[in-house]
Each structure stands twice: as structure tokens, then as C-alpha cells.
Structure 1
């Protein structure tokens, strides 16, 4: 049967993608940000996942105020990189494992999660930047990618507990898939940042560090954290961190932390990254 073996989280800061695309990763400003992914690149090359369920949020590219799905799973054969106003990123097309994607959709819906099924969708930096951080600049992504978009842009976003429960449902779906596959689940977005208003530029390093600690040590606290705490402590865009709880819920009660990276500044955002192994 298929199995989820590990979880990865990372910020999906668009400036990271621009730094890669423009050949600026060796510049003094960007070196420390990218150095924290060197370990992960070697690890994932050795792990060779067959498929990744990549949890991200769309930034008004595929969805707008006319259509706001809380949870949307991509089930098409492939997804093109989106044009976010300056042309599509020069990255590979995302190739899906459609059998597994449809199986997850069916399993989660029958498990009482009302998933939106998407068969036409361009994917923006929320999805492509994490892939670039882990895999660099290949001609093709080395494994199949199942996009799972979460609304954290327009109120109300899902609660941390609901995200955790979706992770559990995804794990059950994967485990019931008959093909022998090594599957990873990634949660993206965050950490603390605010892009507008009087608190623009907010970064809360102690709060971010506690969040990273509790992914392993006390996930129940994160599961119960209300939206207002994300907004107050991590800024208006810090709510993206609920997507990390989909990853964490899918791994089960016990995990081992393999790697962690935290860096400030990366653009005007706190950059967070962690790799967890399912026990």
C-alpha cells in the first residue's frame, strides 16, 4: 500500500523564487536563506518520494472573490506555472499522480470532507517556490505533485483543528491506496509576516520558534490555537501556518524532527522550514 513517510514545511516567499530565477542565490543577502535547504536537498534526493501532496494557498491567481474553495484538490494530469503579473516562472510543469489524487478526493469526501475538485488550474509561487527550494532548477520535477489549495486569504479560513483533521483524512486515504508508493506531505506558507497596514513588516521570532518547537513537542496546542492569535502574534499573513497543520495531522501522533531552518530577513518575511519523519 502507499504510505506517508515524512512531512516538510517551508515558507513560500515569492522573492525566493525570484532570487533563484535571476541567479542571485549566491549574493550575501540570500546565501543564509538558501543554505538552510542544503541538508534537505541531499535528504530528499536519497528519499526519492514517488508523490508529494503539496498544501499551499493560491494568491488570487486561480481563485478570486467569485470562487473561494476552503479546500481544493487538483486532479488534472498537469498544471502550468501561473503568470502573476511578470510572466510565468521558468519552472517545470507540475505533473500529477491523477489516480492517487482522485483516490484522495473520493476518500476524503466519503470521510465527510467536502473537497472541491479542480481540473483546470495554474499554480502560483505558493506551490512552485517550495519545489524550487527543495529540488533546485531541474528540467522536470523529479516526482508527481498533487496540489491541495487552502483558503487562507479571505475570511473565514479553516481552523487549525479542521486542518489537522484533514491531514488525518489524507493519511487514511493514502494508506488505502493499493499501489506501493512513498508519499510525502508538505505544508507551505508563513512564518510571521504582515504585508500591509500599520504593522507591515511585523516579524515575531519567539512566537515562530515556539510554533516550530510545538510541531513536535506539543502539537495539541497548535491544533487548538484560535485565528486571532495568528493575526495578533504572526501578522495578517501568518494565518498561512494553519496549512502546516494539515501536514502535521497526516503524520500521526509521533514524529522525529530531522532538520530545521529559520532565517530573518528573507524579503519582509520570517523564513521557516522543518523536516519531520513519521515514527
Structure 2
């Protein structure tokens, strides 16, 4: 049967994608941010997933104020890189896994999660930057990807508790898929940052690192953080971290940390990254 073997979380800062695309990763400013991904690139090369369920948020590329799904599951054969106003990123087309995606949709909906099913969707930097951070610049992505878009742009976003519970439901769904697949779940976005207003540029190192601490081990305290705490402590865009909780919920009761990275600043935000494995 299919199995979830690891969870990865990472920021999906668009400037990281631009630095990769423009060959700037070795520059003094960017080198420390990218250095924290070298371990993961080697590890994932030795532990390649067959499928990644990649949790991210759309940035008005596939959705706008006319359509705001809370949870949208990509069930298509493939997903084109989105044009975010300056042309699509020069990255491969994202190949989906429709059989597993439709199985997830059925299982999650029958598990009482109201998923929006998407059969055509372009994917923006929220999804493609994490792939570039883990896999570099290949001619084709080395695994299939199932996009799971979460609304963290327009209030009300889902609670951390709902996201954690969705991760638990994803784990049940994957375990019920008959094919022998190595599945990873990735949570993206964050960490602390605010892009506008008088608190623009806010970064909260202490809060971010406490959040990373609590992803490890048995505690489920993170699922109970209220929205107002994310806003107060991590800025208006820090709410993206609820997407990391889908990944964490999918890993079961206990996790072990394989790798961890934190760096500020990158553009106007913090870079956070962690690799976890479930403990049986």
C-alpha cells in the first residue's frame, strides 16, 4: 500500500525562485539562505518520493476574489507554471498523479472534509519554489506532485486545528491506496512576515523557532494556536504556517527531526525549513 515516509516544510518566498532562475544563489546575500537546503537536496536524492502532496497557497494566479476555496485539490494530469505578471518561471511542467488525487478526494470528502476538486490549474511560486529548493533545476521534476491549495489569503482561513485534522485524514487516505507508493507531504509558506502597512518587514525569530521546536516530537499544541496569535506575533502573512500543520498532522503522533534550517532575512521575510519523519 502507499505510505507517508516524510514531511518537509519550507518557506516559498518568490525572491528565492528569482535568485535560482537568475543564477544568483552563490551571491553573498543569498548564499546563507540556500546553504540550508543542501542537506535536503542530497537526502531527497537518496530517498526520492514517488509522489509529493504539496500544500501551498495560490497568490491570485489560479483563484481570485470571485472564487476562494478553502481547500482545493489538484486532480489533473499536469499543471503549468503560472504567469504571475512577468512570465512563467522557467521550470518544468508539474506532473500530477490523478489516480491518487481522486482517491484522496473521495476519501477526504467521505471523511467530511469539503474539498474543491480542480481539474485545470496553473501553479505559481507557492508550489514551484519549494520544488526548486529541493530538486534544483532539472529538465523534469523527478516525482509526481498533487497540489493542495489552502486559502490563507482572504479571511477567514481554516484554523490550525482543522489543518492538522486534514493532515490526519490525508494519512488515512494514503494508507488506503493500494499501489506501492512512497509519499511525502510538504507544507509551505511562512515563516513570520508582513508585506504591507506600518509593520511591513516584521520578523519574529523567537516565535518562528518555537514553532519549529513544536513540530518535533509528540506535542500537538500547535494545532490550537488561534489566528490572532499568528497575526500579532508573526505578521499578516505568518498565517501561512497553518499549512505546515497539514504536513505535521499527516505524520502521526510522533516525529523525528532529520534537518532544520532558519535564516533571516531573505527579501523581507524569514526562511524556515525542516525535514521530519514519522516515528512508528
**Alignment correspondent of 2:166:** 166
Task: Return the alpha-carbon distance in structure 2 between the equivalents of residues 221 and 236 of structure 1.
Answer: 21
Q: 1:193-212 residue pairs with structure 2 within 5 A?
A: 193-212=193-212
RMSD: 0.6
TM-score by length of 1: 0.99
3-state SS of paired residue (1:216): coil
3-state SS of paired residue (2:216): helix
Task: Return the alpha-carbon distance in structure 2 between the equivalents of residues 42 and 101 of structure 1.
Answer: 27
3-state SS of paired residue (2:215): helix
**Alignment correspondent of 1:176:** 176
TM-score by length of 2: 0.99
* Cα shift at 1:216: 1.0
Task: Return the alpha-carbon distance in structure 2 between the equivalents of residues 152 and 113 of structure 1.
Answer: 17
**Alignment correspondent of 2:73:** 73
* Cα shift at 1:48: 1.2
Task: Return the alpha-carbon distance in structure 1 between the equivalents of residues 130 and 48 of structure 2.
Answer: 16
Q: 1:226-245 residue pairs with structure 2 within 5 A?
A: 226-245=226-245
**Alignment correspondent of 2:113:** 113
Contact 2:218–2:254 (Cα < 8 Å) also in 1: no
**Alignment correspondent of 2:16:** 16
Q: 1:1-279 residue pairs with structure 2 within 5 A?
A: 1-217=1-217, 219-279=219-279
* Cα shift at 1:220: 2.0
Task: Return the alpha-carbon distance in structure 1 between the equivalents of residues 101 and 147 of structure 2.
Answer: 9
Task: Return the alpha-carbon distance in structure 1 between the equivalents of residues 236 and 36 of structure 2.
Answer: 25
In structure 1, stretches of 5+ residues that fail to align are: none
> After the TM superposition, which segments of 4 or more aligned residues of structure 1 sit over 3 Å from their partners?
none
* Cα shift at 1:219: 3.8
3-state SS of paired residue (1:186): strand
3-state SS of paired residue (1:161): helix
Task: Return the alpha-carbon distance in structure 2 between the equivalents of residues 2 and 269 of structure 1.
Answer: 36
Task: Return the alpha-carbon distance in structure 2 between the equivalents of residues 220 and 48 of structure 1.
Answer: 28
3-state SS of paired residue (1:228): helix
3-state SS of paired residue (1:265): strand
* Cα shift at 1:91: 0.2
Residues 111-153 of structure 1 show CA distances to partners (whole Å, capped at 9, x for unaligned) of: 1001000011100000000000000000000000000000000
Task: Return the alpha-carbon distance in structure 2 between the equivalents of residues 246 and 35 of structure 1.
Answer: 26
In structure 2, stretches of 5+ residues that fail to align are: none
